């Protein structure tokens, strides 16, 4: 029988230590072979951290107490579950944010599974010549100049993202969620995205006095995007007395160089939005409400582009509510474009081929295509 008098004499904090996880403070270097478990959570990072090798188990919350960076020189495995994700975020009293995770010339093996990365101010993850995969990862509320959630400079390894979510990330210049540069050779390294949502990511603002591109993703290299959704992403800029005007390009996706394949993907409600000084004589150039192809090759197949838009305050140069092609080659196959503002497809340069596709109710029922394209076996309102 339990003696209640004895229980009453036991200090209350002993019960607390038995039932609650400890707070773990870390700073400096994490040696090879370390493991953080839920019993260590929350883990508070109190200075810049360098990781040689670390495994983070389900349920661990990593709290950044200041504007610090986690540098991975070896391997980092963040292995959460749906019920117990691994979380990286600022501590509650940290209003400065944190600098994100940085990988440069690391060995293969790093991965993020069921992980949440939030509130970084210099990209959630920055990759330089490093191989990394993301599965069931949420990036939310991260920011940077380029690539609010991920900035990647690829060399000989792919960046793989699947089953993930990018929500409310921001870049001041390009790639609201993802900014990627890499080889442009046909078999070179590529950004690979599948079954992933991009929602309300932005590049630039309507007071940003510079060119902007890629509300969700900016790619200069090779890319493969399949089975994904781009919704309400925007590229934004502001025109004020600038020779040649200002450009904002690719409300969801901006592609330059390399070969890109986009298939079985939805582009809904994305746009290019521009502000302008009330007296500026210069043009505001909004090109590609959903997609902009500057150069390289795009194959767009089995996809839907709907309700994407171009909005300009003054001296508008609208080009392609759905797709703008400024150079390179674009092939559109088995794809529907409907109710996009301005033309569904605008060819400003390069080559455009349309096959087995539907273009209807774009441009307020007017011309669906601007510029010369090759269109075969397609249903195009008003003909072409």
Strands (E), 141-211: 143-146, 150-153, 159-162, 165-167, 170-174, 178-181, 190-194, 197-199, 202-203
Predicted pLDDT at 279: 62
8 A C-beta contact, residue 343 and residue 320: yes
**pLDDT at res. 184:** 85
Note the pLDDT tens digit of each residue in 337-365. Answer: 999 999 999 999 999 999 999 999 999 99
Res 7: pLDDT: 36
Task: Tell me the pLDDT tens digit for each residue of 118-136.
Answer: 999 999 999 999 989 999 9
**Which regions of the chain are under pLDDT 70?**
1-21, 241-244, 276-283, 314-316
Distance, CA of 71 to CA of 103 (rounded, Å): 6
pLDDT at 274: 80
């Amino acid at each position: 029988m339990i003696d209640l008098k004895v229980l009453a004499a036991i200090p209350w904090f002993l019960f607390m230590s038995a039932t609650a996880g400890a707070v773990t403070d870390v700073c400096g270097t994490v040696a090879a072979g370390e493991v953080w478990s839920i019993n260590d959570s929350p883990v508070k990072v109190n200075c810049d951290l360098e990781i040689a090798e670390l495994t983070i188990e389900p349920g661990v919350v990593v709290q950044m107490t200041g504007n610090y960076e986690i540098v991975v020189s070896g391997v980092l495995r963040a292995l959460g579950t749906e019920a117990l994700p691994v979380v990286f975020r600022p501590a509650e009293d940290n209003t400065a944010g944190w600098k994100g995770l940085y990988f440069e010339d690391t060995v293969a093996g790093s991965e993020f599974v069921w992980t949440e990365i939030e509130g970084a101010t210099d990209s959630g993850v920055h990759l330089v010549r490093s191989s990394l995969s993301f599965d069931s990862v949420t990036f939310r509320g991260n920011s940077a100049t380029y690539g609010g959630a991920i900035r990647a400079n690829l060399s000989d390894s792919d960046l793989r993202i699947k089953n993930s979510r990018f929500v409310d990330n921001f870049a001041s210049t390009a790639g609201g969620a993802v900014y990627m540069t890499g080889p442009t050779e046909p078999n070179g390294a590529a950004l690979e995205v599948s079954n992933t949502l991009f929602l309300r990511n932005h590049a630039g603002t309507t007071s940003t006095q510079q060119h902007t591109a890629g509300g969700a993703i900016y790619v200069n290299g090779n890319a493969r995007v399949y089975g994904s959704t781009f919704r309400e992403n925007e590229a934004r800029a502001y025109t004020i007395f600038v020779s040649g005007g200002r450009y904002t390009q690719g409300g969801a996706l901006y592609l330059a160089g390399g070969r890109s394949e986009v298939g079985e993907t939805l582009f809904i409600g994305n746009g290019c939005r521009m502000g302008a000084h009330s007296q500026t004589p210069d043009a505001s150039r909004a090109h590609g409400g959903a997609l902009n192809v500057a150069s390289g090759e795009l194959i767009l197949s089995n996809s839907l582009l709907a309700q994407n838009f171009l909005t300009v305050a003054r001296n508008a140069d609208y080009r392609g509510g759905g797709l703008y092609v400024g150079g390179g080659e674009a092939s559109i196959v088995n794809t529907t474009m409907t109710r996009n503002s301005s033309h569904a497809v605008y060819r400003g340069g390069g080559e455009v081929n349309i096959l087995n596709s539907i273009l209807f109710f774009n441009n307020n029922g007017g011309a669906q295509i601007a510029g010369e394209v090759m269109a075969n076996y397609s249903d195009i309102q008003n003909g072409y």
